Amino acid sequence: MGQDLRSAQRLLLSLHEGDTSRILARCFCMTVTKMSWRPTYRSSKFRNVYGKVGSREHCFDGIPITKNVHDNHFCAVNARFLAIVTESAGGGSFLVIPITQSGRIDPHHPKVCGHQGNVLDIKWNPFIDNIIASCSEDSSVRIWEIPEGGLKRHMSEAVLELYGHSRRVGLIEWHPTSSGIIFSAGYDYKILIWNLEIGEPVKMIDCHSDVVLCMSFNTDGSLLATSCKDKKLRVIEPRSGRVLQEANCKNHRVNRVVFLGNMKRLLTTGVSRWNTRQIALWDQEDLSMPIIEEEIDGLSGLLFPFYDADTHMLYLAGKGDGNIRYYEISTEKPYLQYLMEFRSPAPQKGLGVMPKHGLDVGACEVFRFYKLVTLKGVIEPISMIVPRRSETYQEDIYPMTPGMEPALTAHEWLSGINRDPVLMSLKEGYQRPSQLVFKAPVKEKKSVVVNGIDLLENVPPQDRERAPAGVLPAAG
């Protein structure tokens, strides 16, 4: 900067007096632009968080990870099991491996293989850690109960099969506070809300004009944010299906959206009009324009956002990238503070995230990814660690966090009740709840009727006789 100013001074001396003001203004603007590139720092206990890749014995090796190009993670993790969608012929399948049985996986390891089409998404029940949901190109959602010690043989019979979508189902999300409620989004542009206590769909959200790309709940599950291929970002009241806020994202094509805890903010990842990867911060009560937009880079891979409400940290991981950027988010300017970047030469196909109660608090671990490396057939754990000297429990980085006890029954939530998650302390580590069990409903086969139309008429013929159903009222 000093050299630039000296050059400007020599230039001023050589010019007539009438040009002085113009040159001064130009030099001032040049100086301010250079200063703006200088980062501004503020005090943060997470400023020095670093990523640590698990040793080879803690990785999961020899896994035929799916080559499906669907934009999803193909991985789900909890404190007991790791589930990975695998490459298979003649239907979809996924592996379920006890989290403690790392190392090289037997190529003949038993699989969950009941779907007749490729598996597109898998999610563990947040309250019962041996219950997992899957959705598939066969237009179904299935609920599976994994045996206590893991799979000993192939599993082809689900405890519950859910039909109602007329095309493949690309996304599923468990409700964050209510037991027995799961959402599914299909390529028929519909979101169905399922009550697993009766095994039937109970609501339908039909406000999208194209494929739903992402679903995210706020803390108590009273609001649902969606991104869609129709280039719109929506905030929806899920029980009524009413769209509360809607943004037509022309300059920021939204791919993924996530609620930022109790901040009343949304964060989206997408692409700018110049095809650069971009993130944007929004007020959930006013989507007329983003609070801030920030360009990341010019790469083409989809950006996946992960938000930790306990630390207010945001992690950004690109599909096909080897790095993970992380930021700290606040309600005050500058809102988004870049912290650091974890770098790795191996590209990631997807990432699973360990729930908070499964972290190693003794090592000051605040987040853990499970990275899918397709080329190597390896799942690598990546721990995000706060460097601390003390070995005692660090209460300032481990506040009370949502636990494994539901705050509501399905009936209570459907009747309009909202409750915040039941919180737990991480001081004692993971303690498996013993009182919750999943009971599959026994019911007669009916028709899924919406406005006089049987949704099961469009279910693939091979599944028509097996499809359980119920009466589906339209939302609103």
Q: For the residues of 193-261, what is the DSSP string, one character each? A: EEETTTTEEEEEE---SS-EEEEEE-TTSS-EEEEETTSEEEEEETTTTEEEEEEE-SSEEEEEEEE-T
- Per-residue confidence band for 433, with pLDDT thresholds at 50, 70 and 90: low
Superfamily grouping for domain 70-206+401-476: YVTN repeat-like/Quinoprotein amine dehydrogenase (2.130.10.10)
pLDDT at 327 over 70: yes
Q: Average per-residue pLDDT in the chain?
A: 85
Number of DSSP helices (H) and strands (E) in the chain, helices first:
3, 34
The answer to whether 220 touches 420, Cβ cutoff 8 Å, is yes
Q: What is the pLDDT of residue 45?
A: 86
Distances (CA, A) of 148 to 81, 130, 459: 10, 7, 33
pLDDT digits (tens, 9 = 90+) for 108-140: 999 999 999 999 999 999 999 999 999 999 999
Helix (H, G, I), strand (E, B) or coil at 84: strand
pLDDT digits (tens, 9 = 90+) for 437-456: 777 776 555 556 553 456 56
Could you tell me the pTM of the whole model? 0.84
Q: What is the pLDDT of residue 456?
A: 62
pLDDT at 105 over 90: yes
pLDDT digits (tens, 9 = 90+) for 26-55: 443 333 222 233 344 556 788 899 999 999
Q: What is the DSSP letter of 461?
A: G
How far is Cα 259 from Cα 354, in angstroms, rounded to an integer? 18
Sequence-separated (6 or more) residues with CB below 8 Å from residue 95? 63, 82, 83, 84, 86, 105, 109, 111, 112
Q: Domain residue spans in the chain?
A: 70-206+401-476
Q: Which amino acid is at 456?
A: L
Can you tell me which residue has the tokens 């083409």?
300
How far is Cα 182 from Cα 463, in angstroms, rounded to an integer? 21
pLDDT at 106 over 70: yes
62-76: average pLDDT: 94
pLDDT digits (tens, 9 = 90+) for 240-283: 999 999 999 878 889 999 999 999 999 999 999 889 999 999 99
Q: What is the pLDDT of residue 306?
A: 98
How far is Cα 34 from Cα 38, in angstroms, rounded to an integer? 7
Complete DSSP assignment for 121-158 = EEEE-SSSTTEEEEEETTSEEEEEE--TT--SS-B---
Q: What is the pLDDT of residue 20?
A: 42
Is 457 or 103 the better-scoring residue by pLDDT? 103
Q: What is the pLDDT of residue 23?
A: 41
- Per-residue confidence band for 210, with pLDDT thresholds at 50, 70 and 90: very high
Distances (CA, A) of 116 to 112, 199, 288, 475: 12, 20, 43, 30
- Per-residue confidence band for 160, with pLDDT thresholds at 50, 70 and 90: very high
Sequence-separated (6 or more) residues with CB below 8 Å from residue 170? 70, 72, 120, 121, 135, 185, 186, 187, 211, 212
pLDDT at 7 over 90: no
% of the chain with per-residue pLDDT over 70: 82
Distances (CA, A) of 41 to 89, 92, 178, 336, 345: 52, 48, 40, 11, 28
Q: What is the pLDDT of residue 449?
A: 58
* CB neighbours of residue 286 within 10 Å: 11
pLDDT at 66 over 80: yes
Which neighbouring-strand residues pair with 93? 86
Pairing relationship of beta strands 265-272 and 252-259 according to DSSP bridges: antiparallel
How far is Cα 324 from Cα 114, in angstroms, rounded to an integer? 34
The answer to whether 161 touches 176, Cβ cutoff 8 Å, is no
Q: What is the pLDDT of residue 431?
A: 67
Q: What is the pLDDT of residue 223?
A: 98
Distances (CA, A) of 137 to 171, 225, 352, 415, 458: 11, 24, 21, 32, 14
Q: Of 9-13, 79-83, 436-440, which one has max mean pLDDT?
A: 79-83
How far is Cα 274 from Cα 246, in angstroms, rounded to an integer? 23
Q: What is the pLDDT of residue 91?
A: 81
pLDDT-wise least confident of 163-172, 188-197, 427-436, 442-451: 442-451
Q: What is the pLDDT of residue 392?
A: 80
Residue in 188, 221, 220, 217 with CA at minimum distance from that of residue 205: 188
